[in-house]
Chain A
Amino acid sequence: MYIYLPIALTSVNLLLVVGLGLLVGLLSGLFGVGGGFLMTPLLMMIGIPPTVAAATDANQIVAASASGTLAHWRLGNVDFKMGLLLLVGGFVGGALGVHVIKVLRATGGADFLIKITYVIMLGVVGAFMFFESLHAIKKQRAVALLSEEERMEAERKARKKARAKVKKKGIIASLPFQIYFEKSGVSHSAILPVGLGIFVGVLAAIMGVGGGFLMVPVMIYLLRMPMHVVVGTSLFQIMFTCVEVTFLQAYQNHTVDIILAILLLLGSTIGAQVGTKLGKKLHGDQLKILLAMIVLGVTLKMILGLVLEPSLLLAHGGGH
């Protein structure tokens, strides 16, 4: 069964598009990522123009992340305080990033920078998460094999290491505006999440994505938030970012295809709910290693796309 898309000016298979939404929604609920880094290339592969694919993707992410945020909020997994600070930073960073791109486009070479940033960021984040999770899983298995005495000794060593780490955080700990984030069980200066939000916002704007796959590792490794709170908080922040992007794309560029968005969100909202429930059954490190493998897969595909000669030497404008 086919359906015509009035803004994309193309006809698509209804089940294929709903299926794509379901798949990306599942990932969104599982990992707290918007899925933009996966959905936009997939839409382009089925013939949607790049500019329409990116804008409509932001529209469907609003639905998936709203659905996911609600599910995580019910489970008590959304740190609103942290989410709002990251959001403030994200908005500022997004505006800065758009300006950076404008300057780069004027001087030439922007496309090259965007593509290289994309590959490097995805590769570094994916590889780091993969090896870190692998190490954690191996460690858990080793601990399970230890005797009670050896286990206590290992725990004592780990506590000592953690105390040393806290001492090392000296400069960050001495920053003003210290806030305790009850939900995440961590204390940070408000400057840290706002600053990190700006950093991710700049990169997300340069790369043309929502930034979920960057924000999740930032929350885990730099803000030291527990994995279950990271997913809910990330979805909360992504929802607001994509509301802004959708409206601007519809208003300025006329590139949001509402029919395509409805088909995608039919799948993605259900997928997000299923993903959230599935995520509860999986261990944090198992989740991280799965996400790392997906990110590395996308990176590999992008590298192949960069080094192998394309069959067509012409393309529509927009996209990456």
Chain B
Amino acid sequence: MTTGPAIYFDGLTSARHDVTVEATPEVLRIRAADGAEIAEWRYQDLRHQSAPDHVLRLGRTGDTVLARLEVHDPTLAHTIDEHADTLDRTGAAERRVRTRVIVWSFAAAVSLVLVGIFGLPALADRIAPLVPLSVEHKFGLAVDAQVRSMLNPGSSKGPFECGLAAVEKPGRAALDNLVKRMETAAGLPIPLKVAVVRRADANAIALPGGHIYVFQGLINRTRSADELAGVIAHEIGHVANRDGTRSVLQAAGLSFLFGVLLGDFTGGGVVVIAARSVMQKAYSREVETAADRYGVRLMGKIGGDVRAFGSILGRIAGGEPGISILQNHPLTKDRIAAVNAAAGDAPAPAQPLLTPAEWADLKQICG
């Protein structure tokens, strides 16, 4: 039996009792300074409570109050620890539990990352074709407003969208002419809404709901109507394959997944996330290749120069390293080769898709 001083709180009042503790093999006996027995604690009820390193702080399971016994004497603390199997003074049991927690948390994190990399894209692939067109249309409108405000550089030279001023009207008419032919040939279930916007980078994007934005920078760098048509055909491919909806579903799923994981639910509204994902155009290699193939077929259908898309692609990606928005796309060289292979040995068409006059108008669509 070991005896030693301790501090006792009965859990009913905050009064501090200086007590003597007898650690007998059967039971822990707590005596007041005058020797009167205050309490008798069974070893199997003892629980270790958080305390500074040099203090053993004990409580009891199943106690309705928070009675506490604080032992500062190392010998006494050691004896109590020896008698009580439930105590974990060295922290070995706690460390075992903690190791399990770490292993399982790590496994959970790996599993969630795998879901993010493989599960979500697969899920988005299956769900995107099932989204009703009316829903995609509405969603397109919501995303459209957001994307416009994100893309708009706030140029003072006129409204964001080109083709509205009187001098730009003929260009708009030429574009409409071109798009109408492509749309008829494509036979899409939703109407296309193609617009040229005042933005300097050479790029074009497709949103859910049939919105296609061609940037002024691209118009400036195209040398023929067929090159422009090639880019638009590629974007129509995204619309036909519903890639916008798919990437929005994927991004929403990803942000939700990581919201749960990281406990961050405040990371922007769904529409903002969606708009961002469309703008980043982080489509996979397969998705881009599919849109390329679609574009090639569509160009063939309307009698355009199939290889034109390859040449504008090469010029944009090759000419301005760093600025190229196409850096997210699969290796451009492979794509150009694939486009040319798909074109086969079909002869170049005798005449371009637009008359020289129409093409000249279209080049001036942004004034």
- A and B form one complex: no
Binding site for A on B (CB under 8 A): none
A residues in contact (CB < 8 Å) with B: none
